[in-house]
């Protein structure tokens, strides 16, 4: 099973559910995490720590249980300019993207950090490219 299959399973987007808006949201989330404003998983981790929510993102990175995050908590962490740009690029309303991110981001980060290790930028980019190409290709 590849990284994309892992992400689909972790986010509950398996089977035919990964169509249209869900595929766009997944691609938007991956773009956001890897945007220059965020800086990948390590940048995301730093953003959460700065807002006092480091324990939440650490649970996603570690090999244990993923803690949930509310829309309000996530909104307090996200770089709104980057989120606006990514949402516009993917044709998704920013508030809707934030809502989808609150449910999908824990599973995505968990799968992008196997064995509790944050991947370096090149590895993360390779994982994101593979996942996005699978989204565009129908997820096979």
Radius of gyration of the chain (CA): 14
Dihedral of alpha carbons 130, 131, 137, 139, sign: positive
What is the rounded CA–CA span in Å between residue 109 and residue 105?
6
Per-residue model confidence (pLDDT) at position 55: 96
CATH number assigned to the domain comprising residue 108: 1.10.10.690
- Average pLDDT value for the chain: 79
Instruction: Compare 137 and 83 and report the one with higher pLDDT.
Output: 83
Q: How far, CA to CA in Å, does 82 sit from each of 62, 63, 123?
A: 26, 29, 22
Q: Tens digit of pLDDT for each residue in 67-100?
A: 999 989 998 998 888 888 888 988 888 888 888 8
Residues 6+ apart with CB under 8 A from 8: 14, 18, 139
Which residue matches tokens 């099973």? 1
Question: Looking at the 3D structure of the chain, how many domains does it have?
Answer: 1
Q: Whole-model pTM?
A: 0.78
Name the residue range of residue 30's domain: 3-136
Confidence of residue 35 (pLDDT cuts 50, 70, 90): confident
């Amino acid at each position: 099973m590849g990284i994309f299959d892992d992400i689909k399973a972790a986010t509950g987007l398996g089977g035919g559910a990964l169509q249209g808006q869900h595929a766009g949201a997944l691609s938007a989330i991956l773009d956001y995490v890897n945007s220059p404003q965020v800086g990948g998983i390590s940048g995301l981790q730093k953003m959460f720590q700065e807002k006092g929510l480091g324990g939440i993102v650490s649970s996603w990175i570690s090999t244990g249980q993923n803690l949930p995050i509310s829309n309000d908590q996530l909104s307090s962490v996200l770089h709104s300019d980057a989120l606006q740009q990514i949402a516009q690029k993917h044709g998704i309303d920013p508030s809707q993207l934030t809502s989808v991110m609150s449910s999908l981001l824990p599973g995505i980060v968990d799968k992008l950090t196997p064995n509790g290790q944050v991947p370096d930028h090149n590895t993360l980019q390779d994982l994101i490219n593979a996942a996005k190409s699978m989204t565009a290709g129908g997820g096979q």
